[in-house]
Amino acid sequence: MSTKGFHIALVGATGAVGQQMLKTLEEREFPIRQLTLLSSARSAGKALFYKGEEVIVQEAKPESFEGVDIALFSAGGSISKQLAPEAVKRGAVVVDNTSAYRMDENVPLVVPEVNKEDLRKHNGIIANPNCSTIQMVAALEPIRQSYGLKKVIVSTYQAVSGAGAQAINEMYSQTQSLLDGKEVTPELLPVGSDKKHYQIAFNAIPQIDKFQENGFTFEEMKMINETKKIMHMPELSVAATCVRLPVETGHSESVYFEVETQGLTAADIKGKLKDAPGVVLQDNPDEQVYPMPAQCVGKKEVFVGRVRKDLDQDTGFHMWVVSDNLLKGAAWNSVQIAETLIEMEIVKEK
Amino acid sequence: MSTKGFHIALVGATGAVGQQMLKTLEEREFPIRQLTLLSSARSAGKALFYKGEEVIVQEAKPESFEGVDIALFSAGGSISKQLAPEAVKRGAVVVDNTSAYRMDENVPLVVPEVNKEDLRKHNGIIANPNCSTIQMVAALEPIRQSYGLKKVIVSTYQAVSGAGAQAINEMYSQTQSLLDGKEVTPELLPVGSDKKHYQIAFNAIPQIDKFQENGFTFEEMKMINETKKIMHMPELSVAATCVRLPVETGHSESVYFEVETQGLTAADIKGKLKDAPGVVLQDNPDEQVYPMPAQCVGKKEVFVGRVRKDLDQDTGFHMWVVSDNLLKGAAWNSVQIAETLIEMEIVKEK
């Protein structure tokens, strides 16, 4: 801790994303004057470490936010609904990693590489998009800037860590049971609070979050609606199919997109991705170079490969987008928003 | 064995698909008068069982096909190239499960639910399509018949058994090693004969078969070209992204398609799938009913769910297609072609 810098609060500090946030703040040498770690009553009292110093986790209450400059929330939608307004009331800027405020007209939904200017319009709360949306828009934005964008169709290959630490445990214990020739009793995935649960080990489940009336899941609708909001393109045609896989961390996406510009080649698209902020182009079929979830874990970038032109549609292209869903998909994007708030002097040192 | 019926030869009888073919012939009570099991010299002499009777596997040679009515080939492309013409020369009709003849103009490429009439045009050899193509066209055909078809974009979720028995072993042994905290040394997947090998356990590999000059893999080009040929639609727009997953058996596909007819609903599409031959509609979001690979193993049908209308494109729809890649994708489709050849009296009892 330094005598200069900001007072940062972390809500949900003991969770999977909270832990990654703490680690990311440390790695980034975030200018922290005071660090308040908050959680539910159940986890309060636990000791976590930040740069070697012990920090005791406290129960999150309205008063916890007195004097806080930036509060990073990642403790579920209901906690955000309850406590984010309390933090704002006390002068904090909230970066919320839940879906609670994402589609709220008064809340900017931000991926810094895409729409950091939206941060200027905040009213206290800034929403961090859904993990699968973030990596896709980060890859699409540099293409859109040069060539426009008309249509996106994405099929996802999502890791279990997106469903929390218990889902990771369920995947590994099911896997070991099946290898031992034992029966398994799924209890959590695809959605803990839904009626039925299915085996994730050695399987693929085409359901992430609950079904909506239109037959799409909530995860699919998040990708559709958040993409339009972040890119400021209500007219953009977006469709998603979201699938859970037996992968611990790292979401992959097969993305088909159509640009406005005619006559482009795959090399044109790759040229834009190569120099894009936060994006790493890993694309060399001759050397079998393409991104994979097992290789992206612990990395902050969005990896793109398999870029190729559609064989029938002149403006159509395909690509394969992979990123660590706990980092760029959650913790890193939130910390990056906090860094950008400071850089842009939207939050100033007191 | 009966005194009536046909003389059937199975080339590649000891392989993963060959074993499934033998099992399928038995289950279907295929009218067999004589059964000749053939393999490479290495596996010759092995004893297999058909309806409780021991059948000794012989080395496949040109003379092995004397008197054979139907020869089912599943021993790799080079064996088919070498021996299928020898079988035809001796009066057999060959059903070839390799990619050797699929795009040959003189060879019908057949999924019985879609284009069995093409069997009448055979010149001795009939090709069985690629596993991922078969299940997709079986689901698309009933829709095309009523509503036309303009465009298909598919992203696949393919099981390791499509790469053979050794790939299954590699997946399980890697999985156990990783659970034990050991390092793994990939040796086979994604493509045994390619330069680099990647971990399949807890991963997703966006490469099936080798890369072509246009940036698509051979598997992707098979799906594209075979779909056009089977459906007699050279003008159809088809694109594919093929991905290997840590699933033993059961390919899944996220399929976006556009029909010719305007103003349809998802219910219209489901109505056509519900009564389609070889297709089972498993689609009830309220009850979390949708197909998954773990539930399709050992079943001959193509399972379809998650049917929904695109939110932007009036003629666009999405669906999720799952099938046992060793059965409808290989053994069952081959045996079904043989059954259809008899039903249609293209092959007659001698």
Cβ neighbors of A264 (< 8 A, separation 6 or more) are A147, A309, A315, A317
Q: Is A197 a catalytic residue?
A: no
Q: Would B6-129+330-343 and B133-325 be classified into the same CATH topology?
A: no
DSSP single-letter state for residue A330: I
The larger pLDDT score, comparing residue A165 to residue B141, is at B141
Q: Is B251 a catalytic residue?
A: yes
> How many Cβ atoms are within 10 Å of A202's Cβ, its own excluded?
25
Is B308 flagged in the annotation as binding? no
pLDDT tier for residue A21 given thresholds of 50, 70 and 90:
very high
Query: Do B245 and A306 make contact, defined as CB atoms within 8 angstroms?
Result: no
CB-CB neighbors (< 8 A) of B291 in chain A: 206
Query: Minimal CA–CA distance to A303: which of A331, A332, A330, A324?
Result: A324
On the 0-12 / 13-18 / 19+ scale of CB atoms within 10 A, B83 is buried
Task: Please state, in angstroms and rounded to a whole number, the distance separating the CA atoms of residues B193 and B174.
Answer: 19
Distances (CA, A) of B177 to A168, A279, B188: 17, 32, 16
pLDDT tier for residue A350 given thresholds of 50, 70 and 90:
confident
> Is CATH 3.30.360.10 correct for B133-325?
yes
Nearest residue of chain B to residue A313 (CA atoms): B237
Distances (CA, A) of A131 to A20, A102, A136, A277, A292: 14, 12, 9, 18, 16
Dihedral of CA atoms B32, B34, B40, B42 in degrees, nearest 10, equals 110
Q: Cα–chain-centroid distance for residue A43? A: 24
Residue whose token pair is 């070697």: A52
pLDDT at B3: 80
CB-CB neighbors (< 8 A) of B204 in chain A: 157, 245, 247, 252, 292-293
* CB crowding B337-350: b at 16 or more within 10 Å, else e: bbbbbbeeeebeee
How far apart are the CA of A134 and the nearest CA of chain B, in angstroms?
20
Query: Do A204 and B153 make contact, defined as CB atoms within 8 angstroms?
Result: no
Query: Do A155 and B155 make contact, defined as CB atoms within 8 angstroms?
Result: yes
How far apart are the CA of A327 and the nearest CA of chain B, in angstroms?
18
What residues are paired with B9 via a beta bridge? Answer: B36, B71
CB-CB neighbors (< 8 A) of A270 in chain B: none
Candidates B155, B227, B235: best to mutate against A (most CBs of A within 10 A) is B155
pLDDT at B350: 85
Nearest residue of chain A to residue B322 (CA atoms): A204
- Using CB atoms, pick whichever of A216, A307, A312 lies closest to residue B237: A312
Residue whose token pair is 């760029």: A328
For chain A, give every domain's residue range.
6-129+330-343, 133-325
Query: Do B254 and A306 make contact, defined as CB atoms within 8 angstroms?
Result: no
Q: What is the pLDDT of residues A78-125, one digit of tens each?
A: 999 999 999 999 999 999 999 999 999 999 999 999 999 999 999 999
Candidates A132, A152, A153: best to mutate against B (most CBs of B within 10 A) is A153
Flag whether pLDDT at A16 surpasses 90: no
Catalytic option among B122, B131, B242, B296:
B131
CATH placement of domain B6-129+330-343? 3.40.50.720
- Using CB atoms, pick whichever of A190, A204, A312 lies closest to residue B293: A204
Is B43 flagged in the annotation as binding? yes
pLDDT at A1: 62
Mean pLDDT, residues A284-301 taken together: 98
Task: Please state, in angstroms and rounded to a whole number, the distance separating the CA atoms of residues A301 and A297.
Answer: 10
A266 touches A285 (CB < 8 A): no
Kindly give the parts of chain B with pLDDT less than 50.
Answer: none
- Using CB atoms, pick whichever of A157, A176, A311 lies closest to residue B239: A311
Query: Do A157 and B153 make contact, defined as CB atoms within 8 angstroms?
Result: no
Instruction: Read off the tokens for B212.
Output: 């072509």
Catalytic option among B7, B122, B242, B251:
B251
What residues are paired with A217 via a beta bridge? Answer: A211
pLDDT at B1: 62
Catalytic option among A7, A131, A242, A296:
A131
Is B16 flagged in the annotation as binding? yes
Cβ neighbors of A319 (< 8 A, separation 6 or more) are A139, A255, A257, A269, A273, A304, A305, A306, A307, A308
